[in-house]
Amino acid sequence: MPEKVALKGLAAADKYYQDYGLRARELKKQGKKVIGYLCAFTPAEIITAAGFIPFRIKGDVDEPITKADTEMETIICPLVRSCFDMALKGNYEFLDGLVVPHACDSICRTYDIWKYTLNLPYSHFINMPHGTDDASLGFYREVLDTFRTSLGKFAGKEISDQALAGAIKLHNQNRAKVKELYQLRKSSPPLISGEELTKVLIAAMSLPVEESIEMLGDVIAEVKGRGGLSARKQARIMVIGAQVDDIAFIKLIEDSGAWVVADDLCPGAREFLALVDVSADPLAGLAERYLRKVKCGRTYREMKGNYQEYLEDRFGHMGRMIDDFGVDGVVLYIYKYCDPYGFEVPQIKSYIEAKGTPVLYLEDEYSMSTIGRLRTRIQAFLELLGSK
Amino acid sequence: MSQYFAGVDIGSTMTKVVIMNQSVLASVIGPTGPEHRKLANRVMEEALEKAKLPFEEITYVVATGYGRINVPFADKQITEISCHAKGVAYLLPEARTVIDIGGQDSKGIKLKDGRAVDFVMNDKCAAGTGRFLEVAAEELGVKLEDMGKLSLEARNTVRISNTCTVFATQEVVGKLSEGAALPDIVAGLHEAIATRIYGMLRRLKIEREVALTGGGAKNIGLVRALEAKLGFAVLVPPEPLLTGAIGAALLGKDIVKEAEKKGTPLPRAERRLQEATLFT
Amino acid sequence: MTEEKKPEERKKRRTATEAASNIGPMVKTMIREVLEAKETKKPIAYSFICCCYDEIIRAMDIVPHWVENYAGICGAKRDAQRFLERAEAENFSRSLCTYALCGLGFDAWREELGEMPPESPWGGQVKPDVMLGSGQMLCDPRNKWFQAAQHYMPDVPVYDVGLPWPAYESDYDYRQVQDYYVKYIVKELKGLVKFLEKHTGKKMDWERLSELVALTDKTWDLIWETYELRRAVPSPMGTGDAMNTMVPIVFMMGTQQAYDFFQDLNKELKQKIANKEGEVPDEKYRLLWGGGLPAWFALSDFNYFNSKGAVFPVETTYRMIEATYNFDIDLSQISDPLEHIAWRWVKFWTYWHDRARKRPGSHPDVERLIKYIEDYKIDGIVMHEAFSCRSWHPGLIWQLNLLKKVYRDIPSLVLESDIVDISSYNEADTRTRIDAFIDTLEAVKR
């Protein structure tokens, strides 16, 4: 392994979080190729299998969006605009390629803008279907095969089933580590704060999978070995939302006097906890995982059974997490212009409230200036939970 | 020895203080603003003077409102949501829903057993807050406090379709030049705010009775416009501006009583009446 | 509790063609037929435009209720706000697709009342028997809207048709993947037929389907030929009218009525051209409506353009057809109707790919603009950015930038508002921008 930051565990995570892309820049200097991607629906396994470093592009809530607006309409998801703004400002100049999955309109419809503006040596759009029926699954496998062939061409060598199987194993290990880390949130107080955990997961998005596994292992050992967090009795909060790739919001909740102990977020439980089945056909295993196992608002799950069963199928995992992690209240945190999640708000809210857990629904714009405005709502929500 | 509780509510436009024991002993209302960093202090001193009490006699101080974090002499900060809920439960026990219309924000609160159980809040868009009327009043050359009465004189309410304050102001100018009568336009503005507030409020599934608090409750035009939306009359406390401060004082009292009951020590702030530093 | 009062109705927009002026009554009839179908218990499907299933539902005698159309009507009548506000009260963000918000607000209200909301535009939107959504590729609300509507109508089943098309890529040609795209779409359409048979009790009449598919091809060709007539100088018909004549294109495809309508329009345009009768008496500027759905409540802005001597002989919006004989395959050789539909779909969406490959750095969307600029002798481009729609409106600025880079500089104007939500619209500001744009066109001409 080439040289890395001498820090370990939480300190390393903090460093990689603060200086996002640090490791990718180092590896790039050593001759490695880095493929940037948007959204967790990019099967990073295929990028790893090709011998490249998958690197998830993130935004920055502290950085006002200035450059992006000359190419990208302001009616697009503010997170996507922030990511693009960061790219235009040279934060991701080390990328050799860009992979964009058909996640949502804000991502799908801006692919050309990204592609033509960044003009990287490699770019590819993964046309992931929305449905999860057999026909969609079959189609998606073909789409992944097209990606595999295309990326193989860029790599100068075909991506073999064997290489894919190896990469799948690694990414599964990485996810298993995250799952282990989540177990440390279950105690009261949790062993790791929401802010720390979010930092770790974000840092992981910027590392080669082997290094991510190592960092996660170190974090787990460190957290288990250190003294617990303050034993104050505080509300245990779960955050549900689309992509939260910054600690600001989680920190705001915890600074208001609560623990964030569970989530259905990305990065977070939604994308990390589902594993890829190791099957004879690795692409089929990948298709199955990304299309059927990861439950995101962008995917259309067909209704089987009655409506109540349908809600269970779509949101049951949220309910189970509330029980498993002893959640007192849920914050539903949705960005403006988010069609995939915006349309689910009444259903998610009523599903969770019917289970007896209060929900605070917040709409935000992915900017530090707006996050602060949410403070009073969060504090009031915590007061309301406290007086129950 | 009797106990005294103070509630300090620093809103975006007005600062309110009450001192209570069994009932309200003294209250003061003064404007907030960039020049009023020292205001929390001064208003508090004024209230103490009225109540003829030294600060040391106050058992517990709760700060609330948008500037609550910047009241160094407060023992605890509690959000305006909880304080308005408490205040309304005390002043108008029959209320189940609270609408608070402030200078820069508006909120709806659902009450159950005298406590907030759900709430909605608007603070990002001036439409639906007092700010909207303030901007429009200036554009129309009407005194803000006259707007409500003027709206009652409307014969043919003008529909204002823009919800953005800037757009709506332009629209108002347009309507004026088209020859619409001033009261009709003013009524249209009230109707537009009421629509925004009502829309927000409906997220709570409104239950009767509905109490109206904050500066907006002093505007008769707005009260009528909201009642038209709701289809029934609302309740307004005698001094709607003081609701949050009263709630804050009462919550302070609850905290003290709870601590006494349990025999736990009461965590107090450093007892110094010093400058409140807003906008730090 | 009282609800938002219904505002006064707007005056009808002036149309240039006789045909376009007939559209209003046609839509009214269409809505009435859905209301009657409800009375007579015919199966009704909530439907989206451009979802490949026009001929399928027609062949099965299922009555479509076009939800986007109904929201557009509410918008055009300036009576959408009360439904948008209702959706907001349900906790839907006002930043979401306002077609969907209007429809969901209406449904939530109707289901709560157990009857149509008071003074519903044109009689209202009925509760359907099935809802037909679509995953890929047009927009997210197509697979979220009906799912969200089940919150109010949990007993109404939804089918979501997967309808992808290949992206324009530099590393491969769409022809390398088109077979598996078609295969998938055919499977999805088969699934739709099965779903409809199960939930409506109607049987597919395959022979009739084949006839309707052929009729659609014929109609596409006729529409293309008719719209190409607008190349004439002066142009006999503008985009303002085309925002009416889109009705048979997107709501009546697969019906004889749509074909007949365009035959009439074709005749009318030929007559106007023979008489040298343009949309405006003194045509000064020829503009391309280069993207964006229109603000349905402000179609009279097209008249405002006309008043300045500006006409729109062509638009990209709702020109959802190509001449099928220009495709690189002979559709008539594909006898299976579902396969036929799938190939037509893929060929439509990849139609401009080959032209883009020929011009370095270009893109299919930009090629389409270039072709129209040349064919229709265009002086300037106008686009509309509707804040609530992330389907057609992302990439407009970028397209204009790219056009300048690979082709040439051409005056352009991007208007900002919405499709349905009038609170986003500022007439004075819009007209000031139009005036400034006309000044630019004039300066460039000199």
Task: Tell me which chain B residues have a C-beta less than 8 angstroms from the C-beta of C80.
Answer: none
Res. A387 pLDDT band, cuts 50 70 90: confident
Task: Tell me which chain B residues have a C-beta less than 8 angstroms from the C-beta of C426.
Answer: 162, 167, 170-171
For residue B79, the chain A residue with the least C-alpha distance is: A380
Domain assignment present for residue C7? The answer is no
Q: What is the pLDDT of residue A309?
A: 96
- Residue A51, by phi and psi: left (phi above 0), alpha (psi -120 to 50) or beta? left
For chain B, give the number of residues: 280
Q: Domains along chain B?
A: 4-83+242-262 (3.30.420.40), 94-236 (3.30.420.40)
Domain assignment present for residue C282? The answer is yes
Domain assignment present for residue C9? The answer is no
**Does pLDDT of A112 surpass 70?**
yes
Query: Per mean pLDDT, which range of A20-24, B118-122, C341-345, C435-439 is the poorest?
Result: B118-122
Distance of CA C117 to the CA centre of its chain: 26
Q: What is the mean pLDDT of residues A27-53?
A: 97
Domain assignment present for residue C53? The answer is yes
Task: Tell me which chain C residues have a C-beta less than 8 angstroms from the C-beta of B164.
Answer: 423-424
For residue C100, the chain A residue with the least C-alpha distance is: A343
For residue A117, the chain C residue with the least C-alpha distance is: C398
Global pTM value: 0.93
Q: Do C171 and A122 touch (CB under 8 A)?
A: yes
Which pair of structure tokens corresponds to residue C368? 């389409």
Q: What is the pLDDT of residue B280?
A: 36
Q: What is the pLDDT of residue B279?
A: 39
Nearest CA distance, C360 vs chain A (angstrom) = 12
Q: What is the pLDDT of residue B34?
A: 62
Query: Which DSSP letter does residue A279 get?
Result: -
Q: Which of C62, C60, C61, C79 is nearest to C70 (CA)?
A: C79
Task: Tell me which chain A residues have a C-beta less than 8 angstroms from the C-beta of C92.
Answer: 342-343, 345-346
Contact B278, B32 (CB under 8 A): yes
- Contact of B202 with chain C, judged by CB distance below 8 Å, is answered with yes
Res. A388 pLDDT band, cuts 50 70 90: low
Res. B1 pLDDT band, cuts 50 70 90: low
Q: Do A384 and B121 touch (CB under 8 A)?
A: no
Size of interface B-C (CB pairs under 8 A): 43
For residue B120, the chain A residue with the least C-alpha distance is: A377
Strand partners, A54: A35
In DSSP notation, A216-267 reads: HHHHHHHHHHSPPPP----EEEEEEEEE--SSHHHHHHHHTTEEEEEEEEET
pLDDT digits (tens, 9 = 90+) for A59-107: 999 999 999 998 999 999 999 999 999 999 999 999 999 999 999 999 9
- Contact of B123 with chain A, judged by CB distance below 8 Å, is answered with yes
Nearest CA distance, B164 vs chain C (angstrom) = 7
Domain assignment present for residue C4? The answer is no
What domain range is C440 assigned to?
A: 18-445
Q: What is the mean pLDDT of residues B155-183?
A: 80
Q: How many helices (H) and strands (E) does chain A have?
A: 18, 8
Domain assignment present for residue C339? The answer is yes
Q: Check residues C355 and B1 and name the one with the higher pLDDT.
A: C355
Q: Check residues A233 and A334 and name the one with the higher pLDDT.
A: A334
Q: Check residues B270 and A205 and name the one with the higher pLDDT.
A: A205
Q: What is the pLDDT of residue A3?
A: 56
Q: What is the pLDDT of residue C8?
A: 47
Identify from A331, A370, A383, A388 which residue to disrupt to test chain B contact, counting B C-beta atoms within 10 A and taking the largest count: A383
Could you count the other beta carbons within 10 Å of the beta carbon of residue C326? 10
Identify from A366, A382, A387, A388 which residue to disrupt to test chain B contact, counting B C-beta atoms within 10 A and taking the largest count: A387
For residues B107 and B217, give the distance between their C-alpha atoms in angstroms, rounded to a whole number.
13
Task: Tell me which chain B residues have a C-beta less than 8 angstroms from the C-beta of C424.
Answer: 164
**Does pLDDT of B102 surpass 80?**
yes
pLDDT digits (tens, 9 = 90+) for A300-358: 999 989 999 999 999 999 999 999 999 999 999 999 999 999 999 999 999 999 999 99
Q: Do C426 and B163 touch (CB under 8 A)?
A: no
Chains touching chain C through at least 3 C-beta pairs below 8 angstroms are A, B
For residues A141 and A84, give the distance between their C-alpha atoms in angstroms, rounded to a whole number.
29
Torsion of CA A262, A266, A268, A272, to 10 degrees: 140
Domain assignment present for residue C6? The answer is no
Which pair of structure tokens corresponds to residue B55? 């600060």
Task: Tell me which chain C residues have a C-beta less than 8 angstroms from the C-beta of B200.
Answer: 88
Q: Do C425 and B199 touch (CB under 8 A)?
A: no
Domain assignment present for residue C3? The answer is no
Going residue by residue through chain C, which has 446 residues, state the pLDDT in tens, using 9 for 90 and above. 444 444 444 556 778 899 999 999 999 999 999 999 999 999 999 999 999 999 999 999 999 999 999 999 999 999 999 999 999 999 999 999 999 999 999 999 999 999 999 999 999 999 999 999 998 778 999 999 999 999 999 999 999 999 999 999 988 999 999 999 999 999 999 999 999 999 999 999 999 999 999 999 999 999 999 999 999 999 999 999 999 999 999 999 999 999 999 999 999 999 999 999 999 999 999 999 999 999 999 999 999 999 999 999 999 999 999 999 999 999 999 999 999 999 999 999 999 999 999 999 999 999 999 999 999 999 999 999 999 999 989 999 999 999 999 999 999 999 999 999 998 898 888 999 999 999 999 999 88
Which pair of structure tokens corresponds to residue A364? 């935000």
For residue A359, the chain B residue with the least C-alpha distance is: B118
Task: Tell me which chain A residues have a C-beta less than 8 angstroms from the C-beta of B66.
Answer: 376
pLDDT digits (tens, 9 = 90+) for A131-171: 999 999 999 999 999 999 999 999 999 999 999 999 999 99
Identify from C95, C180, C182 which residue to disrupt to test chain A contact, counting A C-beta atoms within 10 A and taking the largest count: C95
Q: Do C147 and A124 touch (CB under 8 A)?
A: no
**Does pLDDT of A1 surpass 60?**
no
Res. B125 pLDDT band, cuts 50 70 90: low
Number of domains in chain C: 1
Burial A237-270 (b: 16+ CB within 10 A, else e): bbbbbbbbbbbbbbbbbbebebbbbbbbbbbbbb
Contact B157, B193 (CB under 8 A): no
* ipTM (interface predicted TM): 0.95
Q: What is the mean pLDDT of residues B92-120?
A: 92
Q: Do A380 and B66 touch (CB under 8 A)?
A: no
Res. B168 pLDDT band, cuts 50 70 90: confident
